[in-house]
Chain A
């Protein structure tokens, strides 16, 4: 790894004009980060400034599903449990112990003593009940929470320290869900506010940091909570944060973020692109990466489109992709998919045989279904062409992977047109179903995550209309608790998804975080979100 650094310096003399340009760009970043670093009076090593790749649009963890928002919210709220990113094991956090009733319909949590929200109110059983009721009441406003609380029948405080949560149907996923930031605890006072007020930042949690200032397109500034003493069991240092202020500077340009990290204006870059990872080594800034559990980055067909309604076409597209060739374009911790789930998800199994590159099989499937090569090499049947538009946000870093996929599919006579769109157009078109393909990944360390994308009653980007074995097999996963039985249920669901061509797994996504040399103690949680409670900045 040290060689990377040496190589970077050795090339530097040829890069002088470029470096000059970078310094100009970095100046732009200083303007953005300036508000945070201009505070001259503070002792060195007291503040941490991290670069966030996307603007913050809503800070209420109960509502927002977006990564950039949740990166901030995670520092503000605690959860009942935490999940060990290495083993997937659920460990105590706000709850010191719990019992799962038979059939996973009843959960009893015993809460830790002495926990308070930042507005002073105690975190007791009544507060936990109020939080769960709030998320259930948010309904569609909480796309992630709705899945975590599927079948929720209510919760009650058995005494001040004991909460009982009940479900109508078995909920094998709920215990893991309690570790997610979406089920983080907000003070009862906060829950009384409107969802819009909470989004804008009027919220108090029990987390290691409290919110100081939100400037939606500029920065979010947090300060350490004095007296914080209830970190999760995974933290090495359990007390109050050692940095006094934590600032999320919004720097959308990846090269500006990278330049600012190298020059020391940022202490961390929360999204390092693949092309910049060569400049990390043992000396200087370090790279912290973790494969994200959950649904891998997956190509999802709009099955209402006539050509994509054809199962042979969907399967041929999967067979015509050579995923092993994606590797050089992927970042640290990312790898070609070998299942519908990432390797770090409980229930994952190596299904690479079903996802192997099989160009002959693709040709056979298409020929058998009557798709013949047209004059331009693209297959046609009647008036239909195998030409598909893949819409994605221009801010997404995977444009080159899509272009490589387009090259590979062209070999089989399928035209893929990756179309980058601005965020507003992208979400409008995805909402209206105006696409042939979209690509999604959903992060969660539990196989029930499949229920957020594939069943008819879910986000359903495939626009499927009739429930079939995909729906029934995925529903089955939530009802079983025994690991072996779960693995079987996941296998059945994965089989139904892959053989039905409802999702074409591409690659496993990772969180890649660049850290300045002076920063230590930052860890990634099981969802790949950075935790700054432990962080330390050397002067």
Chain B
């Protein structure tokens, strides 16, 4: 019951972030790419709620317009991780035997490499950019999903209704897709939500290191990086995007936790 307490604010934060990504104009009419040099480095005030940066650009506009690429990258990353991970887990869990051993050992190797290192390697090969970062984060998270899906598949495979379907003569592929997969989906959904929070954070971290979209395109991570030299003179340049990332990650994590508890108890 206690967990429910934070659900509404978390949902609101997530809703606001999604809305900002879909319709940034709604939140801030200012241009995120052009600024007025006479209004540079203004602290937060009525005209500029989050202040302005070194080129006089509105920080609120940049944070709002930065939510689309940042969230997009996180969602794409989790999407890749879920799809690739499920496919690998499904094949391994169904086939068992030598193929299962082979695939799972490969997955373990992937898990043994620190994920951030793996992401940096992939981005270094693909080059900088939002899509490239999303792909790299997705690849590094796929291994976790494949293990969960494989475990679920093995569990569901032994249950009565799957055996019954097999006895009835239903094709193997049909059994997999109509019986095994839907019943294994619960934990995957919960894990996906948790991973989304992780992905937002990782995408921001990689973009902070300068591998995201090149300037002047706003991205949460690169906004913090760009504000870092101003720590002593303009705190709002780093604090505002930082707080936004914290709020979104906490919200997603909390919702993920609630979902996980539900899937475990229900």
Contact = CB atoms under 8 A, between A and B. Distances in A.
Contact of A399 (B41, B215, B231, B233): B215
Given A254-B229, A275-B229, A18 B239 contact: yes
Interface residues of B, number: 21
B214 interface: yes
B37 A403 contact: no
B25 interface: no
Interface string A319-337: 0000001001100000000
A371 B252 CA distance: 49
Contacts of B37: 325, 328, 404
Interface in A108-149: none
A400 B210 contact: no
Contact of A406 (B40, B216, B239): B216
A255 B230 CA distance: 8
A258 interface: yes
A21 B215 contact: no
A462 interface: no
B234 interface: yes
Nearest to A277: B233
Contact of B210 (A17, A406, A420): A420
Which residue among A258, A325, A403 has the maximum number of chain B CB atoms within 10 Å of its CB? A403
Contacts of A400: 54-55
A189 to B, nearest CB: 43
Given A328-B37, A400-B54, A22 B215 contact: no
A279 B231 CA distance: 13
B235 A273 contact: no
B232 interface: yes
Contacts of B40: 328
A418 interface: yes
A258 B229 CA distance: 10
Contact of B232 (A279, A325, A394, A422): A279
B155 interface: no
Interface residues of A, number: 34
Contact of B55 (A279, A394, A404): A404
Interface in A396-412: 397, 399-400, 402-404, 406-407
Nearest to B226: A399
A417 interface: yes
B233 A403 contact: no
Nearest to B35: A407
By DSSP majority rule, is chain A's interface helix, strand, loop, or mixed?
helix
A404 B215 CA distance: 11
A370 B43 CA distance: 45
B216 A275 contact: no
Nearest to A255: B231
Contact of A418 (B214, B226, B234): B214
B105 interface: no
Nearest to B234: A275
A160 interface: no
A404 to B, nearest CB: 6
B34 to A, nearest CB: 6
Which residue among A25, A329, A407 has the maximum number of chain B CB atoms within 10 Å of its CB? A407
Interface in B192-225: 210, 214-216
Contact of A275 (B34, B54, B55, B214): B54
A84 to B, nearest CB: 34
A276 interface: yes
Given A403-B216, A417-B214, A22 B55 contact: no
Nearest to A262: B232
A75 B131 CA distance: 48
Nearest to B38: A328
Contacts of B235: 14-15, 17-18
A283 B137 CA distance: 50
Contact of A276 (B210, B216, B233, B239): B233
B210 A278 contact: no
15 contacts: A15-B235, A18-B232, A18-B235, A253-B228, A255-B228, A255-B231, A258-B232, A276-B232, A279-B232, A397-B229, A399-B215, A404-B37, A407-B34, A407-B55, A417-B214
Interface of B: 33-34, 37, 40-41, 54-55, 210, 214-216, 226, 228-235, 239
Interface of A: 14-15, 17-18, 21-22, 25, 253-255, 258-259, 273, 275-276, 278-279, 325, 328-329, 394, 397, 399-400, 402-404, 406-407, 417-420, 422
Q: Which 5 A-B pairs have the closest CB atoms?
A: A18-B235, A255-B231, A403-B216, A400-B54, A419-B214
Given A17-B239, A325-B37, A403-B55, 8 more contacts: A22-B231, A259-B232, A275-B41, A328-B37, A399-B226, A406-B216, A418-B215, A420-B215
